[in-house]
Amino acid sequence: MKEKLRQSTFFVTGNNPPPVVSEQRKYLWIIGFSLLLITIGGLIETPRNLAWGLWQILVSSSVLVTDYFEIANTGSAFLNSGLVTLSSTLLAKRLNVKLSGPVTAALYTMCGFSFFGKNLLNSLPIMLGVLIFASLHKKKFSTYILVAFFGTALSPAVSLVAFGLGLNIGVGLALGLAVGLLIGLLLPALAVHFLSFHQGFSLYNIGFTAGIIGMFLTATMRLAGFEVINVSLLSTGNNLLLSVFLYSSFGILFLIGFFANNRSLNGYRGLIKSSGKLVTDFIALDGYGITLINMASLGVFATSYVLAVSGELNGAVIGGIFTLVGFGAFGCHLRNSLPIFVGVYLASFLTGTEINSTSALLAALFGTTLAPIAGYYGVIPGILAGSLHMALVSNVGFLHGGINLYNNGFSGGFTAAFLVPIFDSVKDMFEERAQTKS
């Protein structure tokens, strides 16, 4: 059911509607943020260390979980994220793509995953594949820009074939390019088809699609005698620097949203009433300013949760935080995300899993792919979804061997497909009983 455009107030400070923010100004913020990432990288590492670290990032296999802070250095990880985010933003701007909620989510996802898995070298072939698909179908590339951005979930497949299978460098690069192009050609058609599988209740739809493609690619490579396995290369000891960076970034984001929203929180109550089910574009529905406020609030909450449970702010966790922030423009808010966190926390506690482990933190952060379940069906179903997701996500990674960065999106698709029919059945039963009594 499509949600209508709505107007609501919260802490009203005036009767004027929020001003319309130009696309130019919207892009200016993300471009500025990208340059900030690059600047931070340059400030904390020497040029020589930056170059060395960036090279290590480019030639790594990048399969889950490869923390760029760990295999390179902190500055190079920031530089890589800044370069990927900036190039993606400039591409969208060049194509005159409107900076909507979905596009904002895609750009923040590119930013986050560029701390652990994505780089310019392994992302480009997939985007080129999507471009070729668009050309073959005589469509504008901008039509498929979301698929191109989110489709880089399979970037590690390119890196693994190019650098991780022990092939001759020339052969590896050629095959890696071919694999990336093939992925880009397959993604657009499959993504549309698989949306019906979970009925829009898993926000990371491309993650599920990428998981299916990754599963077949991994099976093929294993059949050919290659070893494809997940890794766990994680950094520690960066909490002070990264927490200052995150809280500062989200503070700035909040202020930009606050001023863009007539210096008020008008509309926030209406925003958090949304279920978040695909497709929910908060920028279109509620305005740019209040959407930025929602994104900032999610970022502060997520960072605080990690620190509260004594977790490590490593590349993977940073990626999860920025992805959640991005989807604060496209389906996530505190009201529908909190039950998922509670579900993951309870499942971890009851099963003896370390609550502050990176795997548990990622399950909570990325488990918000299921936020629409909590938003649509309620808190208890949301907690159940989070708990089941925690149980499933640790068992599906083997299927794609870590070449699908959106492992939680893959798991979330199955979780939603399993739970939604059950919740619908229960919901219908109660509605029928209510009608009978009346």
The pLDDT, as a whole number, for residue 18 is 63
Say which range, 43-47, 87-91, 427-431, has the weakest mean pLDDT: 427-431
Q: Is the pLDDT of residue 2 over 60?
A: no
Joined together, the tokens standing for residue 353 give: 């899993």
pLDDT in tens, 142-178: 999 999 999 999 999 999 999 999 999 999 999 999 9
The partner residues of 66 in beta bridges, in order of sequence, read: 233
Q: Are 280 and 3 in contact (CB under 8 A)?
A: yes
Q: Residue 308 and residue 333: Cα distance in Å, rounded?
A: 20
- Structure confidence at residue 240 (pLDDT): 98
Dmax over CA atoms of the chain, in Å, equals 75
Rg of the chain over Cα atoms, rounded to whole angstroms, equals 21
Question: What pLDDT was estimated at residue 4?
Answer: 41
Mean pLDDT of 179-196: 92
Q: Provide the pLDDT for residue 17.
A: 62
C-alpha torsion 203→207→213→218, nearest 10: -150
d(C-alpha 78, C-alpha 71), whole Å: 13
First-to-final CA distance of the chain: 25
Mean pLDDT of 70-79: 98
Q: What percent of the chain lies above the pLDDT cut of 90?
A: 88
- Tokens representing 130 are 């999507």
**What would the two tokens of residue 182 be?**
């093939």
Report how far residue 265's alpha carbon sits from residue 263's, in angstroms, rounded to the nearest whole number. Answer: 7
Find the helix packing angle between 407-437 and 379-400, rounded to 10°.
150
Average confidence (pLDDT) over 82-91: 98
pLDDT surpasses 90 at 86: yes
Cβ proximity of 411 and 368 under 8 Å: no
